[in-house]
Amino acid sequence: MRMAWWIFISLITIQIILVQYMVEEYLAGHYDTLFYYFLALGFMFVFTIITYIFFRKVDRVMDQ
């Protein structure tokens, strides 16, 4: 499960960086690029949930 921990940390780090970029673009007044950052953030959120479900099932199988 140690591998899953590092994957989750890296995915959360990417999400934090995307939020930072979104704030910078918003404050700079570049509203047309916010949609693409929002899509990337949504994709990373869905990917993180799928990865969490996968490792949770792997952990259950390893416990049996």
Quote the pTM value.
Answer: 0.72
At 2-61, the pLDDT tens digits run 677 888 888 889 889 999 999 999 999 999 988 998 999 899 889 888 988 888 888 888
37 C-beta neighbours (distance < 10 Å), count: 19
Number of domains in the chain: 1
pLDDT at 25: 92
Q: Element (H or E) spanning 23, and its range? A: helix 2-28
pLDDT tens, residue by residue, 49-61: 898 888 888 888 8
Q: Which domain holds residue 9?
A: 2-63
